[in-house]
């Protein structure tokens, strides 16, 4: 299933040797390039986690040829040196909590912390998930909502994120962009039959030491992240109200910290969801 507009996870079926799988991945990469003139990065592993992390190491700025394969017997050793920030689902807030425990890499978690330590700090679900990831364990099935990054159980939030190709110059550009994100968010609420009463605005700002244009064409590069939540007076699915909430956060919190031309990514996360009644 797709993970985002430019990422997907697939399960290979058969008994091919690793060398054969790697060759097929290279052929797929060449095929995509011949049709789109874009180079893709491919990670291969025995679980969604290993494959996704391997794909991040397959990017051109990591000095890779575009395909990274991690054999099953290498999974645990491969994950040892992986920084915790590279694990899907670990954002700045969670990373800060892990760093407060003295953990920056998966190996740090293995050597210094028990699963109970992580559960106490991060909560039961994420604590257990991070502990398992640090040990190279991922038992999710391809095609599940967990493996595709959609979470488990009752839906608690709906997000719209654009972190590629974001290059804004004026306040008008920003307003149009916020309107587009709000319209998409409203559409997703309507499709799922939800209303929202909380809008969280996550903004990626180019890091002061990052180049204006990163190695990945129109990518966001190294960024600082700003986050703020706005609670609405009543539940809604209105695109206009969502846009106004985002704009309020920008005006009150972000405008004084981030010049518009330094914005590299925007996310609207809708929380406090409730079912829409007819």
Q: Could you confirm whether 7 is annotated as catalytic?
A: yes
Tell which residue, 53, 69, 57, 73, has the closest CA to residue 21.
Answer: 69
Rounded to 5°, the CA angle 92-218-180 comes to: 75
Say if CB 133 and CB 41 are below 8 A apart. no
Q: One of 7, 190, 191, 213 is an active-site residue; which one?
A: 7
Give Cα 262 to chain centroid, integer Å.
20
DSSP string, 108-131: HHHHH--HHHHHHHH-HHHHHHHH
What letter would DSSP give residue 60? G
Rounded Cα–Cα distance for residues 124 and 142 (Å)? 23
Catalytic (active-site) positions: 7
């Amino acid at each position: 299933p797709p993970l985002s507009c430019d990422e997907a996870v697939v399960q290979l079926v058969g008994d091919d040797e690793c060398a054969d799988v790697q060759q097929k991945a290279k052929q797929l990469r060449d095929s995509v390039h011949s049709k789109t003139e874009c180079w893709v990065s491919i990670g291969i592993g025995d679980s969604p986690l290993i494959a996704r992390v391997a794909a991040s190491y397959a990017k051109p700025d990591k000095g890779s040829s575009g395909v990274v394969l991690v054999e099953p017997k290498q999974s645990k050793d491969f994950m040892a040196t992986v920084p915790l920030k590279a694990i899907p689902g670990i954002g700045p807030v969670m990373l800060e909590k892990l760093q407060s425990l003295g953990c920056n890499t998966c190996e740090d978690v293995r050597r210094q912390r028990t699963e109970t330590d992580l559960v106490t700090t991060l909560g039961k679900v994420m604590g257990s998930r991070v502990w398992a990831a640090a040990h190279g364990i991922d038992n999710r099935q391809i095609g599940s909502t967990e493996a595709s990054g959609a979470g488990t159980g009752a839906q608690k939030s709906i997000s719209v994120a654009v972190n590629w190709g974001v290059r804004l110059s004026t306040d008008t550009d920003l307003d149009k962009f916020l309107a587009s994100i709000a319209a998409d968010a409203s559409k997703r609420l309507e499709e799922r039959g939800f209303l929202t009463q909380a809008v969280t605005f996550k903004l990626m700002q180019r890091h002061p030491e990052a180049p204006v244009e990163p190695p990945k064409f129109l990518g966001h590069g190294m960024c600082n992240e700003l986050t703020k939540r706005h609670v609405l007076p009543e539940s809604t699915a209105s695109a206009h109200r969502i846009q106004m909430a985002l704009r309020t956060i920008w005006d009150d919190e972000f405008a004084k910290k981030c010049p518009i031309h330094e914005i590299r990514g925007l996310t609207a996360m809708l929380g406090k969801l409730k079912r829409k009644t007819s």
